[in-house]
Structure 1
Amino acid sequence: MEGKLVLYLEIHQLAKRNLTVSQIAKQFKISRTTVYKYLEMSFEEALHQFEECKTRKKKLDVHLDWIVAWLEEYPHLSAAQIKDWLLEKFPNLEIGDSTVRLYVQEVREKYQIEKTTQIRQYEAVQQQPMGKQMQVDWGETKQKTVSKREIKLYFIAFVLAHSRHKYMEWQVRPFTTRDAIRCHEKAFHFYGGMPNEIVYDQDHLLSVSENAGDLILTTDFQSYVKERNFRVHLCRKADPESKGMIENVVKFIKGNFADSRVFKDIDDWNERALQWLKRTGNHNVHYTTKKRPAEVLLLEKQHLQPVSSLLSIESMNESSISRNVMKDNTVRFESNRYSVPIGTYKAKGNNQVFIEITGSNDRQLIIRNSKNGEVIAKHAVSKEKGILIKNRNHGRDRSKGIEALKNGLLSAFENEEAAKVYIEKVLEKYPRYRRDHLEIFRLVSINDSTWLDKALEKCIQENIYSANDFKDVVHYLKKQSQQEPLFSIAGESRPINKADIPVETRPLSTYTSILGGDVS
């Protein structure tokens, strides 16, 4: 208490001599915040507060000796490191970050332990020749989504050492070695060639271990390096002399592109990442080179090694790349949208398809419903950006009018006259969605034709007029037939109450979101 009171008095004396807050803080080796706090106190307030501090016990007082000893031996230690050391020595200790930070600050002031900064000596690195080296690293961020939730994203970043030209790709899951290989290929395509050497840290995706300088790579990556024939250099993690360029790129991506950006979906995110690279990442003048990376790349590109369009490792092993079908029944590839047949997108369920690229000069995009499944679409890969490539056969067959669809549907019912009246009432109730309702009726007639007339009878009886509700009644009747008989013990038919039928209430917009179309 006496020591703090003396400090209080000396601070006020120096302030009267017109010393600045910074000068006072430096003289007493305390923070400027503490100087401000003492200057704002009256003498009576200081006496009261110091008296309270003298009698009040603090949670970390029992560990004071340890903390003082650590700080005296290692003055550069941060409060976070002190907390980590405390938890290592006392595993059951429960303490907050701010509590440790304030306590360490008080200990430094009380025992006059000034925090020192460890200065690491660096050696200037010569500018890399054009086309010689690329550096690669991985990173991750947490982003807010459009639905106000939080999602973890993962990215791989590339930078050419001479031009400082950057590339990145993002995923919603951690990277595998196969993902890394695929992204390397996309980076080479992005740059228009490949360097002689690629620098990595000792990442588990690529390197199993270092054995006296002999690299042992994962099997997939070893095959990839052998076929592409570039030199691999592994360095220690967080080693700025070996791979400081890419570490700065990772920080730049996190702090500039990803910071406060709202996530919609991964395809949109990757497209915006490419736009950011063009607009900012590779356009702004680099701090060290004083040049724009995009302009220097035009020269460095001439020194990169040309690469073939397709690797044998890709054609033999997992050459397919998964993509999600968008609501407009398209698949994104290289900043363009490619159509798939109408109805491929499902409002609920799996919308994953697999794409392959064939050919070298005239590349073809092949889209399959599973990795080795049926081909659902083929397109010539466009060299343009931001356009829709659509096969006219992938739209609705508009050659069939409403009447043709309706007449074709009626033949599925035994009681065609009752079906005609029922369907007419449904179409009158939903005039804007006639084609969508007819399509639902058509699918039910194909998948569950046995139950059409029974469902028709029940819907008319219960005054239910909707294709979706009709489908629910069919499913209910089908389920009931599998679970229990439709007749009572007395042999009389057991009636089905309307309340028993789980008819889901849907907004009108659901119909267009399911079938992706409007009425013609």
Structure 2
Amino acid sequence: MDKFEVYVEIRQLLELGFSKAKVAKKLGISRPTLYRYLNQNPKEMVEWIDSTNTRSKKLDPYKSQILTWLKEHPDMSAAQVEDWLKERYSSLEVSEGTVRSYVRELRINYGIPKETLPRSYEAVPEVEMGEQVQVDFGETHQYTRGKKKVKLYFIAFVLSHSRYKYMEWLDRPFTTRDVIRCHENAFQWFGGIPREIVYDQDSLILVSENGGDLILTKEFESYRQERKLKLRVCRKADPESKGKIENVVGYIKHNFAKHREFTNIDEWNEAGWEWLNRTGNYKIHNTTKKRPVEVFQKEKQYLRPVLNKLSNLNPYSSITRAVRKDNTIRYQSNRYSVPLGTYNKQKEVYITESDGYLFIYEKADGPLIAKHKIFPGKGQLIQDRQHTRDRTKGIDAYIETVSRYFTNSELAKSYLQEIRKKKPRYIRDQLQIILKQIRLIKQSVVDKALEECMNKKLYTATDFTDMAQYLQQQKQINSSSKDKEQVVIPVVERKNQINQINTQKRDVNKYISVLEGQK
């Protein structure tokens, strides 16, 4: 049914005595839409429909991209489409309603019905600020770019009052040690510890309920005592008591993870934290009608502060870290640089922490390839200036580039390498001076200057410049006046020829005749 048919149906139903609320419900439209239709006469309605069919829409430039996603993933929600657009086009500003309407229209026009997997959730009572965090685990199956299927595991945390979330992923099953480490990371993310932590009955945490007296695993009980945590474990078949985290687990699976390609676990975690900041903690919550990040700014004041690091906690999930394509590794929500080219040599490095410094090793037993002071913030790039470029390879490439400006490039390379031996600390500056001079003179002069410098063993950029300028002047003089010979001797030649200069000698009678006024 098109818009005009809906308009006619509204008029007919109202004439039959139906109320506006029942008409809207019967036709499946909102009341604002109904009122908008009623405010127009038939002619205005036709004109408005024509205008909507011809005018461009804000998301039209992204139409082919959205269609590709919907065709590949028919169950994709409009909310996920919005998140993917904002992830790929950070400057795009569009409302959730606009995306939802556009996706709905594309599904109708291109016959892409949405596949749904219904799931029921139960409401749970609200709690006070800083009172509770709920924790649960989840699993997903993802595909790599090579279409290989991998299984991933995650742990999720949500503050019950603000709905502020945290998550962390592994490409292997969690251990109790991993769970403890993730708790510490979550408390750092939240900036404090809530008064109560709610769990499901997980074997990594709980051995037995024992009639209400919880018996925890040895490691987790030691951690609970050191952090002075108050725990509550849900009873079996009682999802209502942790409905908030159930929603979060589903949200993570269906908005963040669904249809996303897996590369490696470090990049996956980084993308997850970016998603939390962009979508998971930023979008308005359907129940509270507020942004979790804004409510959290008040709730975090009620959290118990994290005053010290644990004495017996290994901060790593493993002693290795994946090297990223930009030659960095991920550690505690920041990126730390490794020497340029490391990614091409190896995909993993070994790390340790000591006295506030991060040490990065090529192998478990060395050698050390990088050392960084650990940065306390999040999302920062900590980069050693020596890692910004491979200086040796850079000079070789520079010499190769400059040598191509000479006809005899091999001779030029030999000459430039001699300059490099003589001026190793200033070779880049030397090459810049030579290149600048080359661009000012003709090719024949460039080649002649190179030959003369090699013959006379003049291995500096200044010598080359002087020789080139001298030869250029000689060429200009010879072309402008062949009768008058003027010799311009460059600085480098003066040093060798100063003792060979012969002055002109005149007869003394000429001076006498000038003094006496005779001609």
TM-score of the superposed pair, with normalisation by structure 1: 0.49
Q: Between Structure 1 and Structure 2, whose CA radius of gyration is higher?
A: 2
